[in-house]
């Protein structure tokens, strides 16, 4: 095998590759021309913080919290946010301090949730319009 056995890289280059969480460790390592194992070893030896493992689950906190509290079916939340595992949702809810789902509790669909939300917003709008009409 030909090539450089140990490639010298600046700490800044290593840190930049390591901290870019939009790439996997293997992709970050390939971007600077080293193996995944080499990047992991160098990051550990330099005391870089641990990277999050697994796929990134990005969720708008306010919307997720509202849907979780309303009792939207977990299977529909999984489909909406693109995560294959229920445990991802329950762990997110736990970190956000949301209540646990009760077994056999009432569940609603996402469509029902949006209809209820729209109904509440329309009722609030009607109250504001009535108040404006009375004051005019």
pLDDT in tens, 45-65: 999 888 766 556 677 788 888
Q: How far is CA 48 from CA 8, 17, 30, 67, 116, in A?
A: 17, 11, 18, 37, 47
Give the pLDDT band (50/70/90) at residue 128.
Answer: very high
Spatial CB neighbours of 66, under 8 Å, sequence gap ≥ 6: 117
Question: Among all chains, which residue has been given the structure tokens 């729209």?
Answer: 118
In the chain, the percentage of residues whose pLDDT exceeds 90 is: 25
107 near 71, Cβ under 8 Å?
yes
Give pLDDT, residue 1: 38
pLDDT average, residue stretch 97-110: 80
**What is the C-alpha to C-alpha distance for residues 87 and 116, in angstroms, rounded to an integer?**
27
For 73-87, what is each residue's pLDDT tens digit? Answer: 888 988 888 887 888
pTM: 0.52
∠ Cα 56 30 6 (to 5°): 130
């Amino acid at each position: 095998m030909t090539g450089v056995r140990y490639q010298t890289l600046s700490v800044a280059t290593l840190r930049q590759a390591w901290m870019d969480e939009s790439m996997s460790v293997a992709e970050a390592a390939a971007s600077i021309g080293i193996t995944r194992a080499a990047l992991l070893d160098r990051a550990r030896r330099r005391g870089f913080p641990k990277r999050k493992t697994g796929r990134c689950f990005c969720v708008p906190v306010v919307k997720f919290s509202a849907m979780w509290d309303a009792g939207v079916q977990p299977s529909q939340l999984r489909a909406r946010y693109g995560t294959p595992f229920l445990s991802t949702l329950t762990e997110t809810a736990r970190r956000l301090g949301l209540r646990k789902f009760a077994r056999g509790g009432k569940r609603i669909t996402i469509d029902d949730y949006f209809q209820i939300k729209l109904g509440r917003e329309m009722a609030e709008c009607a109250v504001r319009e009535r108040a404006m009409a009375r004051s005019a």
